[in-house]
Amino acid sequence: MKLKNSLALGFLLLLSLSHRLSSPITVNAETFSSTNYLIEMGHINVTSGKKSSTTYQLTDSVGQIAPGRFQSTGYVVRSGFQYIYDTFREFSFSIDDIDINLGTPSPNVGTTDTNIVTVSTPYGTGYQITASENHPLANLSGQTIPDTGCDSGTCTETTSGVWTGNSAYGFGFNVIGIDSSGVATGIGTSDYFANNTYFRQFANRSASPTEDPQIVMSESIHVENRRARVSYKVIISAIQPSGDYQNAITFTAIPQY
Partner 1 sequence: MFNLTLSPAQTEYIVKPGGNIVHSLTVTNNSNQNLVLTTSVRPWVPGTAEGAIDYRHAIPDPNIIFYLSNPDLKLGQAFNLPAYSKKQLVINAAVSQKSDQKDAYFTFFVSQDISTLDPNRTSQSLAEIGAHLLLAISHTQELPSQAQIGEFQIRPIIKDSLLTPIVFQAKIQNRSDHYFRSQGKITLTKNKKIIQTLDLFPETVLAHQQRSIRCHQPSLPAQSSPQPQTCRLSPPLWPGIYTATLALDSSLNGSSAAITFAVLPFSVFIPLLLAALAIIFTPRFLTRRRRLSP
Binding map of partner 1 across residues 136-175, x = CB under 8 A, - = no contact: -x--x-----------------------------------
- Stretch of residues binding partner 1 (CB under 8 A), selected from 13-21, 155-163, 184-192, 214-222: 214-222
Q: Rounded CA gap, 196 and 234, in Å?
A: 15
Q: Give me the least distance between CB of 201 and partner 1, in Å please.
A: 14
123 touches partner 1 (CB under 8 A)? yes
Single residue of 112, 128, 156, 196 touching partner 1 by CB under 8 A:
128
Instruction: Name, in order, each residue with C-beta under 8 angstroms of 148's C-beta and a sequence gap of 6 or more.
Output: 155, 163, 168, 169, 170, 171, 172, 199, 200, 201, 233, 235
Q: Does 93 bind partner 1 (CB under 8 A)?
A: yes
Least Cβ distance, residue 212 to partner 1 (angstroms): 5
Indicate the residue among 65 and 95 with the shorter CB distance to partner 1: 95
Within the chain, what is the greatest distance between any pair of CA atoms?
110
230 close to 113: Cβ distance less than 8 angstroms: no
Give the separation between CA 172 and CA 151, rounded to whole angstroms.
Answer: 12
Query: Please, which of residues 38-77 interact with partner 1 by CB under 8 A?
Result: 57-59, 69
How far apart, in whole angstroms, are the C-alpha atoms of residue 74 and residue 70?
11
41's CB contacts (< 8 A; 6+ apart) are 29, 30, 31, 32
Count of other CB atoms within 10 angstroms of residue 247? 17
By CB under 8 A, tell whether 246 contacts partner 1. yes
The region of 8-16, 17-25, 153-161, 220-228 touching partner 1 under the rule CB under 8 A is: 220-228
Reference 196, options 166, 229, 219; nearest CA is: 229
The site for partner 1 (CB under 8 A) is made up of 57-59, 69, 78, 83, 85-86, 88-103, 115, 121-126, 128, 134, 137, 140, 212, 215, 218, 220-222, 230, 232, 244-257
